[in-house]
């Protein structure tokens, strides 16, 4: 799926640079240079994600976002700000911002935050499993418990949360970055070895074959044989 990203930015050179970068990475882009134009474009084209500058002609980014959320816009929003103050961030999160990028920013930071927000958006849209049956193992994600034949299995809450993420994307490869986003949150610094240790715990409880390693990519939950 190709995601559509609306960039609302009044600095022409920055707008052009972001557009070129996103197109190079395979995204479809839309653009607007004022607050009212960005609002109109977002409502008309319903992009998957907006990069929304705070300081815009005609209407601030905060006012654009307030109006969009008031009209039911559900797309993701990353705000671009030169201020980066805690007060601005708190105000934006209250209005429904998904993330912030403070100017000046690097290409890698911008791409990383876009990818993380899109992953979180996709995860929210995926159906949430409440239970999971893997052969003779029953997992209750509501109670964060797992059992085999009525006997409780020793699985910590993070291991079960990882299993829930794998079940949500059953049959698909889930990267370590996705697991960090969905289990811990993007703002947490989690070493990939921590994830691997939890996967070892899951394999001990469930069996070696159910959690498959896809080398260079991540993990996948397989159907029990």
Cis status of the peptide bond prior to 21, with omega within 30 of 0: no
Can you name the residues that pair with 7 across neighbouring β-strands?
31, 51
- Please determine, for residue 130, whether its predicted confidence score (pLDDT) is greater than 70: yes
Reported confidence tier of residue 68, pLDDT bands at 50, 70, 90: very high
Decide which of 51 and 178 is more confident. 51
Q: In this predicted model, what pLDDT tens digit does every residue of 145-189 receive, in sequence order? A: 899 888 888 888 899 999 998 888 877 888 888 888 788 876 567
Residues 6+ apart with CB under 8 A from 34: 10, 56, 57, 58, 59
DSSP symbols for 131-179:
EEEETTEEEETTTTEEEETTEEP---HHHHHHHHHHHHTTTS-EEHHHH
Decide which of 57 and 102 is more confident. 57
In the chain, the DSSP E strands lie at 4-8, 28-32, 49-53, 76-81, 99-102, 131-134, 137-140, 145-148, 151-152, 174-175, 211-214, 218-221
What pLDDT is recorded for position 38?
96
114: exposed, middle or buried (C-beta count within 10 Å: 0-12, 13-18, 19+)? buried
User: For a pLDDT cut of 70, what percent of the chain falls above it?
Assistant: 91
What pLDDT is recorded for position 123?
65
Kindly state the average pLDDT of the residues 21-29. 95
Angle between helix axes 35-45 and 61-70 (nearest 10 degrees) is 30
Domains of the chain in sequence order: 4-125 (3.40.50.2300), 131-221 (1.10.10.10)
What pLDDT is recorded for position 150?
82
Kindly state the average pLDDT of the residues 188-199. 82
Kindly state the average pLDDT of the residues 99-117. 90
């Amino acid at each position: 799926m190709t995601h559509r990203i609306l960039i609302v930015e009044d600095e022409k050179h920055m707008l052009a640079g972001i557009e070129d970068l996103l197109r190079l990475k395979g995204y479809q882009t839309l653009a607007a240079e004022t607050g009212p134009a960005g609002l109109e474009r977002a409502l008309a084209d319903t992009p998957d994600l907006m990069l929304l500058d705070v300081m815009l002609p005609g209407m601030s980014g905060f006012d654009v976002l307030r109006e969009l959320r008031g009209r039911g816009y559900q797309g993701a929003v990353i705000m671009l700000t030169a201020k980066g103050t805690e007060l601005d961030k708190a105000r934006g999160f209250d209005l429904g911002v998904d993330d912030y990028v403070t100017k000046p920013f690097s290409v890698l930071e911008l791409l990383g935050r876009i990818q993380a927000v899109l992953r979180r958006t996709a995860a929210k849209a995926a159906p949430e499993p409440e239970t999971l049956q893997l052969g003779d193992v029953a997992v209750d994600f509501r109670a964060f418990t797992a059992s085999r034949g009525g006997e409780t299995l020793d699985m910590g809450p993070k291991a079960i949360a990882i299993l829930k993420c794998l079940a949500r994307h059953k049959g698909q490869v889930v990267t370590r970055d996705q697991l960090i986003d969905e289990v811990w949150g993007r703002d947490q610094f989690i070493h990939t070895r921590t994830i691997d240790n939890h996967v070892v715990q899951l394999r001990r409880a469930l069996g070696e074959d159910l959690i498959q390693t896809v080398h260079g990519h991540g993990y996948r939950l397989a159907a029990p044989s």
